Each structure stands twice: as C-alpha cells, then as structure tokens.
Amino acid sequence: MSTERKVAIVTGASQGIGAGIVQAFRDRNCRVVATSRTIKPSADADIVTVAGDVGAAGTAEAVFKAALERFGRVDTLVNNAGLFMAKPFTAYSQDDYDTYISTNVTGFFHMTRRALELMSKQGHGHVVTITTSLVDQPMSSVPAALTSLTKGALSAATRALAIEYARTGIRVNAVSPGIIKTPMHPPEAHQAMAALHPVGRMGDVSDIVDAVLYLDGAGFVTGEVLHVDGGQAAGHHMP
C-alpha cells in the first residue's frame, strides 16, 4: 500500500461541484474517497466510492475506514454536501428543518470530527467546507434563511476550528459561492440568476474547484472564508 500520494475525501461527490472537485484532485494524481447518497462504483482504482447519507454517523465511519484501508491516510476533507431551498421562512416545514440540519450541519460534524482525529495523529491536514454567500449578503429576492442558519454555522465553525487547531499542522478553511451552474438550477433560470451577481453572470463549477485547490495548497491560509460569488458579498450593483 502506497502512502506517498495525497488522499482527499469529498462529500456530495456524485454531481455538480463535488464531481468537479473529485476530478480536479484526480487530475493532480491524488487519490479520492468520494461519497454521496447516490454515488456509483468507480472504474478508477484511485477513486473509492461510498454510498450513504452524510448526516448518518455510520457514513463517516465507512468513509474513513475505506480511506485508511485503501490508501492509509487522509490529507484533505472537502465538506461539499449541502442543501439549498429558497422559500419564505414560515413556509419551511419541520421536515425541511430536520433535513437541512442533518445534511448541512450534522454531516459536517461527523465528517470533520473524524478528519480532525486522524489528521491530529498525522500532524497535518486540511478541511475545506462549501458554504454560501447568502450567509454574508442575504437577498430579499432569494429568501433562504434556513440555508443561512445552517451554512452560517459552518462559516463560524471554520474560524473556530482554524484557531483551535492552528498549532497542530491542520488548516481549516471554507469557500463561499454565489449561484453556480449545476444540475440544481434549471437552464431557464440562469439569466435571472446571473443578474443577482454584480459581475452579471453565474459561477461555473470550475470557479469553485479553483478556489478549493488554491486553499488546499495555501499553507499560510487558515480560518479563511473565501468568497467566490461574483461580488455578491461586497454589496449590491444597480444596473
């Protein structure tokens, strides 16, 4: 078993941003453990897939067991799995709340706790989490307070963990995207969504992938929430 090459775990890895991150790590000759509810086995010997609900403790256990058995280490955890649903706050149901908490917060807890335990023993590691620009710049046209409630917790935890682990060789960062062209958003909505960004376009998956890769290689950066949002976090642009 070779332990020389970098190993990354990516959640929410079956499509969109997660799939793009998996491919980017493979393009750099890293090995990957990819997980999501619906992920299928990979023909690539350097990608191990684990199907499961990220909100279940057993999924994190299975993911890290697979990583150690196959590759012997974990260098990077990318907490990408997440839910987004725009609706008025009073329209959210108890089921909506429970599902958001499970995926966005509990999933982060289980995966990150196991990652930090392992990385502390290794003496190095990086955790990077995907949040949302709406945490810092809410929009009346996109009511999404439940997203901000859960993703905002991740931004706060990112900074707290960065300080807690600052002297251990472990870095903790986040990427805060605007609206990205993924299967989550139908093409007919793209024009309206583009207009929500000061730069006048939606983001591409590659924009988020590039940010994750930058943070993963930036050894002097920790506790950073990097906005990749076409200027949304900076303020409003009137056409």
- Residue 89 is predicted with a pLDDT of 95
Among the listed residues 5, 20, 54, the one whose alpha carbon sits nearest the alpha carbon of residue 203: 20
Asked if residues 148 and 134 have their Cβ atoms less than 8 Å apart, the reply is: yes
Q: Has residue 1 got a pLDDT over 60?
A: no
Asked if residues 136 and 233 have their Cβ atoms less than 8 Å apart, the reply is: yes
Residues 6+ apart with CB under 8 A from 49: 13, 33, 34, 35, 39, 40, 41, 42
Give phi and psi for 104, each to the nearest 5. Answer: -80, -35
Q: What is the mean pLDDT of residues 17-44?
A: 97
Kindly report, residue by residue over 86-140, the tens digit of the pLDDT: 899 999 999 999 999 999 999 999 999 999 999 999 999 999 999 999 888 888 8
- Residue 207 is predicted with a pLDDT of 98
Distance CA 104, CA 151 (A): 7
Which of 44-53, 127-136, 166-175, 179-188 shows the lowest mean pLDDT across its residues?
179-188
Label residue 239 by pLDDT band (50, 70, 90).
Answer: low
Q: Has residue 2 got a pLDDT over 70?
A: no
Residues 6+ apart with CB under 8 A from 18: 10, 11, 12, 34, 36, 78, 80, 81
Domain architecture of the chain: domains with CATH: 7-174+204-223 (3.40.50.720)
Q: What is the mean pLDDT of residues 190-202?
A: 92
Q: What is the mean pLDDT of residues 133-156?
A: 91
What are residue 174's DSSP bridge partners? 129, 225
Distance CA 206, CA 202 (A): 12
Half-sphere exposure of 83 (CA within 13 A, CB side): 24
Total-model pTM = 0.95
